[in-house]
Amino acid sequence: MGSRKYAVASAVIILTAIVLHSSVFVVDLPHDALVLQFGKVIAVKREPGLYVKLPFFQSVKYYDKRLKEWDGEPNDLLTVDKENIEVNTFARWRIVDPLRFYEKQQTEAQAQGTLDGIIESSVKNVISAQPLMEVLRSTQRRLRYSSEELENAEAAKAIVVQVGRDAIVEKILEQAARKAREEYGFAIEGVAIRHLNYVRAVVPKIFERMKSERIRIASRYKSEGREREATILGETKKELDTIESQGTREATILKGAADAEVLKIYADAFEQDPEFYTFMRSLEILPEVLGAKTRIVIGTDSPLFRLLKTYEKEE
């Protein structure tokens, strides 16, 4: 009999423990809790603490209210200036209205899919209404390029940034966050552009355009170089011709002066002793006209014949 009472008491204690365990629940700081009865929300608990519910008939669903990540897929967009670009965005979000979130989404996985549509739609609406440079740049600061020609070419485009990338991102966040909070019970705390580029189909064309621009600049450099080379060579030839002309003139003057001096010396020598002058001139000529096999036909009345005859007699 005693063992039966012990068994009944044990069963009561165990049943009481089960009832108590299913009657209380704890809400910690990072979570919100919904009390459900047959799938219908009858209470929302957002403050940390110990709470009571009906056992067996009521259940509790927890939602983490901390920040969560959302990473989007790259999307192809067409800007207002007809530039086809690829934009990849990411965002941070959290649940702010657990009741509305449960009614509209129920699970975080479903919310991630909803975010795909909300943010990508906002990105498309805002960026498609702006020119490419507004999305790329935030300020009007002058960009630095590897060459002065590229910098001048960019300046010639007269690009004016009126909105800027930061303001565009804020506008995307504003549109997406308003819809998410009002309709789905979660808040988008931040949106940013992770990656922005031309779509792959047009990248080769962009590279070709950049290549053509640089080829044009290189061709201009070559043309200017050839023009400068021709100018330098022309100036050099002109200077060489001037130097050569001056040298020739000075040489002619010196040669003329030397010839005049020689003639003067010859004239002075002839005046002093004509016969001796004739004799010396003949000696100067003989080595030039007489060789080992030279034959000369002269008359007996020739001065050279008399000179040679006299020379033979002395030998």
Q: What is the pTM of this model?
A: 0.55
The verdict on residue 99 lying in a domain is: yes
The verdict on residue 276 lying in a domain is: no
Q: How many structural domains compose the chain? A: 3
The verdict on residue 231 lying in a domain is: no
Secondary structure of residue 85 in the 3-state scheme: strand
Q: Is residue 44 located within the same domain as residue 93?
A: no
Q: Give yes or no for a contact between 156 and 186, defined as CB atoms under 8 angstroms apart.
A: no
Residue 43: is its pLDDT beyond 60? Answer: yes
The proportion of the chain whose per-residue pLDDT surpasses 70, expressed as a percent, equals 70
Q: Is residue 87 located within the same domain as residue 51?
A: no
Residue that terminates a domain, selected from 40, 64, 88: 64
Average pLDDT rounded to a whole number, residues 51-57: 81
Quote the pLDDT of residue 313: 45
* Residue-range definition of the domain harbouring residue 28: 2-64
Q: Is residue 92 located within the same domain as residue 105?
A: yes
The proportion of the chain whose per-residue pLDDT surpasses 90, expressed as a percent, equals 0
Q: Is residue 39 located within the same domain as residue 111?
A: no
Selected residue with higher pLDDT from 301 and 100:
100
Q: Is residue 80 located within the same domain as residue 108?
A: yes
Average pLDDT, the chain: 77
**What's the number of CA atoms in the CB half-sphere (13 Å) around residue 73?**
5
Residue that terminates a domain, selected from 201, 221, 252: 201
Q: Is residue 180 located within the same domain as residue 74?
A: yes
Q: Is residue 22 located within the same domain as residue 119?
A: no
Average pLDDT rounded to a whole number, residues 94-114: 86
C-alpha span between 196 and 77 (Å, rounded): 10
The Cα-based distances of 187 to 68, 174, 254 in angstroms read 10, 11, 103
Quote the pLDDT of residue 51: 84
Average pLDDT rounded to a whole number, residues 15-26: 69
Average pLDDT rounded to a whole number, residues 111-136: 85
Nearest to 99 by CA among 13, 10, 185: 185
Residue 140: is its pLDDT beyond 70? Answer: no
Q: Is residue 85 located within the same domain as residue 53?
A: no
